[in-house]
Amino acid sequence: MGGIETQPRDGKKTEIMAPHHFYAAYVFDQAETHQQDILTLVEQAQELGYPLRYWWLSDAMDLQDSPDRLIVCVHHPSHSENAGLDLYDALKEKGIYWDELDSAVVEEYVYYGKHLNSSDDLNYPHGRRIFPDT
C-alpha cells in the first residue's frame, strides 16, 4: 500500500511527498497515558507500509499555558476518499483510541515531522524518551 510512496535511492528508500496525498494526524493529549494506543498505531501503520512522522504541537505554535499534544502523522499515498481507512479500521478493531484525528498538509509533515521508525524514536520536545521501557 504505502510501498508506492518510496523509491530506492542509493540502496535506501526515499519517501515521496505530494500535496495531494493524505497525511492523517492522530493527536494525543497526555501521550504517556496512551502508550499502547501509540505503539499499536505505529506498528499497524508500518505493517501496512505507511511512513510515519511525529511532532509536538509546541513545535508548531506557542502554547503559552496550554498542555502540549503529540501528533503522530501517517502518510497515505492516495488522495481518494478511502485513503487511510484500512489503518483507521484496523485501529478501531483493536480498540485503539486517540483524542483527535485531523489531516496535516505536506508542509507540516515535512517541516515539523521527525521520522518515526520505532517507539524508540518518540521523544518529548526536549529529548527525553516518552516510553523509556519499550
Q: Looking at residue 82, what is its pLDDT?
A: 77
Q: Which domains does the chain have, with CATH numbers?
A: 19-120 (3.30.70)
Residue that is written with C-alpha cell 497526555 in the block: 30
Place of cell 509533515: 109
Is the separation of the CB atoms in 81 and 31 below 8 Å?
no
Averaged pLDDT, groups of 10, the chain, 134 residues long: 46 78 95 95 94 94 89 87 87 96 94 91 91 81
How high is the pLDDT of residue 4?
A: 39
For residue 80, what are the CA distances in angstroms to 83, 85, 118? Answer: 5, 10, 28
Residue keyed to cell 523509491: 7
With 0.85 as the threshold, say if the pTM is over it. yes
What span, in angstroms and rounded, lies between the C-alpha atoms of 68 and 29? Answer: 7
| DSSP letters spanning the chain | -GGGGEEEETTEEEEPP-TTSEEEEEEEESGGGGHHHHHHHHHHHHHTT--EEEEEHHHHS--TTSPPEEEEEEEES--STTTTHHHHHHHHHTT---SEEEEE-HHHHHHHPEE-SSGGG-B-TTS-BS-TT-
Q: Do 49 and 4 meet the contact criterion of CB atoms below 8 Å apart? A: no
pLDDT at 2: 41
pLDDT at 97: 95
